[in-house]
Structure 1
Amino acid sequence: MSIWWSLHLRREAASVPLARRFLLGTMETAGVDPDISFDLSLALSEACANAVEHGGDHGDREDREGRSDRFGTRDPWDVWDELPGAASAQYRVTAYLDGEKCRIEVADSGPGFPARSTLRDSAERYEDQQHYEPRQYPPLSAEDGRGLCLIEQLADHVHFANRPGRGAVVSFDKVLKWRKDALLMVS
């Protein structure tokens, strides 16, 4: 069995716990192990907080108001055009519980991610090429900047992508463990 849902949320701080509670409720109902649920909900909170803080205007207002491709046709999958209000005031959370894995995506309409490598990318480079590029962490005194690193530590796979002129997407997944009394456990 699989479960899929998508939320379109305003870029407001109050949307972060809403998304987290929605995910936790889904996972509890399905019978996912509470430790796995907690890890994914914390990673989701960090991704949502990032979208709320950084996912807004990026100076491409003309493109968002009348989004079309170079041939003048509107992309039918572009949800930002379908929602009332400015696209920069919103972000989208999508979760898939399918089989033994949960995949979560958070998409916004901000400027995107700066060029960076993940901790795991750096480790793979070290293993493959015997060359290690240390990850630059924020200083201990910094009040922000650790969210993406935390997502990388809580999830099994993480992908950061930029959608040129349209924002950023962070997607992450984790293998699920099930409670013994799980209703939707994979057989």
Structure 2
Amino acid sequence: MTKKEIRQQQIEKLSEFAESAEKDAEDQVLLKSIMNSEIISNCQSIGITSSLSYEVDTSGLIAQLWDQGKDVYLARANDNAERTQDFIYYSYMTKLTKSKFGVEEVNEPNAQINNDLDLIIVPGLAFALDSHQRLGFGGGYYDRFLSKHPNSKTVALANSQMIFKTASWKVEATDIAIQTIITPESILTN
């Protein structure tokens, strides 16, 4: 199977899973795991993406980060040929709009950009537990960003439908492995 076919298969599988109570339960376990980990307690500036309905829900995580006084930065894809992205300061007062990808992004032209973050919570469709490789959405935004900002710690929240023992997709030289993967059962550090 090609990466494109695996992506489509994962989106269908995750969309179906999103309708279940099990997904909500797993999201809560993942939220509790990351909030109780040293990963969060040792970081002040945290980059995150506003989740789509079939991804692990990040809304509760963002609210808890604010409650802890953390600086939250929301990913925003730049409309350029290089497919770059930035992380934009995000508070409960920030205005959001949906991007062409359907993801909510900061819609304030003078908002603060911070790409030198302590931690980035990286989204994905699938994660390989052995190599910590991720299957993203195909745009390469995160891989490009992470290659330019190697000092930021990375973590992914992976529900049971996102977990693969090994990558069943082709891993490219430009793919960046995630340092820590949090599953409903454990926290795995590379």
Q: Could you say which TM-score interval applies, normalised by the shorter chain?
A: under 0.3
Query: Relative contact order: is structure 1 or structure 2 higher (C-alpha 8 Å, sep ≥ 6)?
Result: 1
Q: TM-score, normalised by structure 1?
A: 0.26
